[in-house]
Amino acid sequence: MHRNTLVSEIRKKQSYLCVGLDTDPEKIPPHLQGKPGATVLFNKAIIDATKDFCVSYKINTAFYEAMGVAGWEAMEETVAYIPDTHFTIADAKRGDIGNTSSQYAKAFFETIPFDAITVAPYMGEDSIRPFLEYENKWTIVLGLTSNKGAKDFELQKLGEEFLYEKVLSTVSQWGNPDNLMFVTGATQAGELANIRRIIPDNFLLVPGVGFQGGSLKEVSRYGMNDEVGILVNASRAIIFAGSGENFAEEAATIAQQYQAEMANYLVAK
């Protein structure tokens, strides 16, 4: 998906919500468990219920890979079902030597045609370059994550700067705002103004709103740029909002609440 298309969808829907399809088979409603293709049935219902309120879906591939062949098939079927108006993200956190990354890029940009993939930057440019060679595909690089372990490396000083600052400034030179995004966790909202100083034009994928306690208001205030420039992901707070037969309707209610709040921030911007 081209950047202009993504920005247009955000403006049209007054939403920068990304729904995370972190579909844990043990947490889907009991009436679906045990049915053939239960994961896909659940995902399709969530997509149908939330597609009017979000602009993106993020699939955490771990939940699908854990199921083996059936999981990969479920992931393919889910991606195929998502409307092409929505930006699709493989949250796979890949990154390896060049020829291996080339195969990862083929897997997630061609075999399963996602718009974007998350990658880890710590093996350097040659581990990321193969992803950047695809036109209208996005590489989403881990910048400053929302987990408590971020302090172990990302928030360690390298001379006068933090490691995450070095990652942002260096990696941003390998691509451009049309093919590079960065993960910046909502629980690190206090750093967003500094992040925007380093990468003013790139989109940010912001997890951590919802169950992890990040503030949508703070993320929006400090993370937006002139083209909005953020996708805020919510997973469990939406897809597991309900556990009964009306789970999809309950997911829609929460997604609509996020969208309504985002619309207010977009007007203010």
Query: Catalytic amino acids?
Result: 93
Neighbour tally for 239: CB within 10 Å: 28
The torsion defined by the Cα of 84, 87, 93 and 98, in degrees rounded to 10, comes to 70
Residue type, 21: L
Q: Report the candidate in 158, 157, 161, 150 with the shortest Cα–Cα distance to residue 187.
A: 150
Tell me if 113 sits within 8 A of 125, measured CB to CB.
Answer: no
- Rounded distance between C-alpha atoms, residue 91 and residue 259, angstroms: 22
Structure tokens at 43: 């995902």
Strands 161-162 and 157-158: antiparallel
Q: How many CB atoms lie within 10 A of CB 154?
A: 21
